[in-house]
Amino acid sequence: MAVEVATQLKMISADSHVVEPPDLWLTRLPEKYRDRAPHIESREDGDYQVTPGVDSRRVAGELGGMAINKGKGEVIEKKTWRWTEQRQGAMDPRARLVDQDLDGIKAEVVYPNWFTLGLIPDPDLRAACTRAYNEWLVEFCSVAPDRLIGAAQLPLAECDEADIAAAIAEARRAKDLGLGTVMLPHRVERPYDHPCFEPLWAELQDIGLPISVHISTGTMVSHFSREGGPASTAILVMKLKTGLSHATFELIWGGVPAHFPGLRFVMTEGGIGWIAFVLRFMDHWWEDHRHYVEPKLEEPPSFYFHRSFWATFEDDRPGILTLPLLNEEHMMWASDYPHTEGTFPVSVARVEQDLGDLSDETRRKLVHDNAAALYGIS
């Protein structure tokens, strides 16, 4: 039974989140930046994440209910949320370990909740905020470094020489700090197949950490933003959720994994149900047009994806049904704790529902072994 496998192994969540302290940047930034520090602002209709030069975002209320306090797997409906009402395990690493045990989790790869640092227009402030976040994350994960694997943010917004240099410097520092992966924005101003990124790819290959491309980061939010009626948020979430294919196209057709075979990309929180269709269509296009498409790919696009890409999923039964078309050793289950679309606190039951008809060996790979191998979790 899948429940037995999950319980025996304790699962590894390849994508979960923290909620940053409201005073993180107010107290940790150099003095000259503190009057522009990201912070929490209380308003009549709730608390907001306020980031300089970026639209404010309401705590817990937008983009699917970020990090709200969940009961027995159900979403608590509420129009006005305060930062203090969020689940303690999202903010306190010791409470987090209690929630891990409650949900059958052995370890988690921990991503930010405050995704808008990369949109800060001032490059110096952006880099300072990123450094402060990564230093705080190391402290958060130090409570249980075998169970909390931190994902470092990089201060990348443009593709100019200064931005690339800042991203490289922070990636090196992230490795020195002991963080487990570095994040690239879902999208920046120039597509990832642009030649200006080549110095970054070379350095990231040398650094050797997995490279996570997480939904809802970088300019992808503004590319997909829209105005409209009550369904607007739901429509935006769907666009973001399926948007990882864009970065996949750019990276593979741009020859990035072909030219830098040591890079390991993790397409995070976008599910896996889209992959089989995308790979087949890319291969079809390659078969017909490879003789004149530049840069030339010696192998079909699916070869590079199966070798150089990993992906995470939560509630994705359609994706599970396409496993025979994927590299199952690169697919990784995730709880997305503590977000509303995540599986906490019923992850074991959700795994049984979605993976119950798979072999024990395949289930072990998806809920434990693949993430353990990628992130070095013993």
Domain of residue 178, CATH code: 3.20.20.140
Q: What is the pLDDT of residues 318-344, one digit of tens each?
A: 999 999 999 999 999 999 998 877 888
In a domain, 77, yes or no: no
Whether 207 is covered by a domain: the verdict is: yes
Q: DSSP string of 167-203?
A: HHHHHHHHHHHT-SEEEE-SB-SS-TTSGGGHHHHHH
Output the pLDDT for position 72. Answer: 54
Q: How many domains does the chain have?
A: 1
Determine, yes or no, domain membership for 324. yes
78 within domain boundaries: no
Is 76 among the domain residues?
no
Q: What are the Cα distances from residue 110, in Å, to 17, 19, 100, 154, 202?
A: 5, 10, 12, 15, 25
- pTM for this one? 0.92
Structure tokens at 334: 């995730």
Is residue 3 classed exposed, middle or buried when 0-12, 13-18 and 19+ CB atoms within 10 A define those classes? Answer: middle
pLDDT value at position 135? 98
Residues of the chain with pLDDT under 70: 1-8, 60-79, 218-234, 236
343 in Cβ contact with 352 (< 8 Å):
no
CA–CA separation, 94 vs 110, rounded Å? 14
> What's the pLDDT score for residue 70?
57
Q: Residue 293: which domain range?
A: 2-42+90-375
56 and 50 Cβ atoms separated by less than 8 Å? yes
303 located within any domain: yes
**pLDDT given for residue 122 in this prediction:** 95
- Cα–Cα–Cα angle for 68, 131, 146, nearest 5°? 65
Q: How far apart are CA 365 and CA 344, in angstroms?
A: 20
Predicted pLDDT at 347 = 92
What confidence score (pLDDT) does residue 193 get?
85
- 25 occurs within a structural domain: yes
The answer as to whether 265 is a domain residue is yes
- Please tell me the predicted confidence (pLDDT) of residue 76: 61
pLDDT for the residue 175: 98
Q: What is the pLDDT of residue 73?
A: 52
